[in-house]
Structure 1
Amino acid sequence: MSNALSLPAPSPVWSRSRRWALIFGLWTVPALAALSFYYLNQIVTGQPVDWDFGMVATLPNWYFWALLTPAVMAVAHRYPIDQTNWKRNVFLVHLPAMILLILVHSLANLLLFRGVGLHDTVNLALYEVHITTRIHANVLAYWTVLGVYQAVTTFRKLRRRDAEAAVMQVELAQAHLRALKMQLNPHFLFNTLNSITALIRKEENRKAVRMTVKLSDFLRLALENRGLYEVGLRQEMEFAQRYLAIEQVRFGDRLKIEVNLEPGTEHLFVPNMLLQPIVENAVHHGIAQSDKPGVIRVTSCLDNDRLYLRVQDNGPGPGNSTGKKGTGVGLSTSRKRLERLYGDAYAISLSAAPEGGAIVDVELPAVTEPIFEPSIEQPI
Structure 2
Amino acid sequence: MTAISAGIAAVFLLLFVVSRRQDARRFRNGVFLLMAVGFGAVALSVAVVAAFPPLVFVFVLAAVLVPVLVLALAVFAIANGVTMLRSEGRSLGNLLSLLAGLALIGVPFLAVVLVEAGRRSSLPVAQDVTLGLGFVIVFVAVYAALTFGAFTLWSLVYARPRVREQTDALIVLGSGLIRGEVPPLLRSRLDRALAIYRSTPEGVRRPVLVPSGGQGSDEPRPEGEAMAEYLIAQGADPADVLPETESRSTRENLVLSGRVLADAGRTGSTLVVTNNYHVLRAALLARDTGSSADVVGSPTAAYYVPSAFLREWVAVMVEHKWLNVLLIAPFVVLLASLIVYSRL
The TM-score normalised by the length of structure 2 is: 0.29
Which protein has the bigger strand share? Answer: 1
The structure whose Rg is larger is: 1
Which protein has the bigger helix share? Answer: 2
Kindly indicate whether structure 1 or structure 2 has the higher relative contact order, using CA contacts under 8 Å at least 6 residues apart. 2
The TM-score normalised by the length of structure 1 is: 0.27
